[in-house]
Chains A and B, each alone.
Chain A
Amino acid sequence: GESVGLHLPTLSVQEGDNSIINCAYSNSASDYFIWYKQESGKGPQFIIDIRSNMDKRQGQRVTVLLNKTVKHLSLQIAATQPGDSAVYFCAERGTGSARQLTFGSGTQLTVLP
């Protein structure tokens, strides 16, 4: 099964509202987490990252929160816009030799007018 998973496969929000996308991970040894946005027909695009020694990081209109106690990651998008409609993936990087990212199955965010 997936070592990184999402609580909700779909999320619909009104334009202008804030969005919160949640993600659970299972590898307590993961030291780095990334959120990616994938628009239809395109490759994933980096949004924001956070190291395991942090619990919050802010970007432009986005905030990532990390709760290592419950192995939970969330992405908050402020003032959601139509262009935010996409699939959002969280990914964790383990401590193996390849340090490759393990992705969850994604959440489809739909912004309603």
Chain B
Amino acid sequence: GAGVSQSPSNKVTEKGKDVELRCDPISGHTALYWYRQSLGQGLEFLIYFQGNSAPDKSGLPSDRFSAERTGGSVSTLTIQRTQQEDSAVYLCASSRIAGVGTGELFFGEGSRLTVL
């Protein structure tokens, strides 16, 4: 597609439920990132995928969070047993390659998660 596509755009769930958030990166982009943005805050790094390399999961806040990327394209972020503090906008970004001077990330519009 023309840009990074995320779904759903809005998700309201009950505490304790599992949620899945989907990201379709720009075609041909090998690097994919997930960030979390709480209200009025900056972006918090969660996880990074680059090609076929093992993902960098260093930003995941707990073992309730996981992500996968199938076929080097679509990625799914899964949050198990959601808590109210998980409420945030989850942003996905992709870039052509990851390297010096090529750090421009193209962001999707995010998935707004509200945990009641």
Interface residue ranges, A against B (CB under 8 Å): 2, 4, 31-32, 34, 41-46, 49, 51, 89, 91, 93, 97-106
Contacts and interface: CB of A to CB of B under 8 A. Distances in A.
Contact of A100 (B41, B56, B101, B110): B56
Interface string B7-23: 00000000000000000
A46 B104 contact: yes
Main SS at interface, chain B: loop
Q: Which of B40, B41, B93, B105 has the most CB of A within 10 A?
A: B105
A93 B103 CA distance: 8
B105 A101 contact: yes
B100 A98 contact: no
Contact of B48 (A4, A89, A100): A100
A102 B33 CA distance: 12
Interface in B91-110: 91, 93, 98-101, 103-110
Contacts of B59: 100
8 contacts: A32-B103, A34-B104, A41-B109, A43-B109, A46-B104, A100-B33, A103-B44, A104-B42
A61 B20 CA distance: 40
Contact of B43 (A42, A97, A103): A103
B109 A46 contact: no
Interface string B76-116: 00000000000000010100001111011111111000000
A52 to B, nearest CB: 9
A43 B103 contact: no
A43 B42 contact: no
B103 A105 contact: no
B109 A100 contact: no
Nearest to A31: B100
Contacts of B107: 43-45
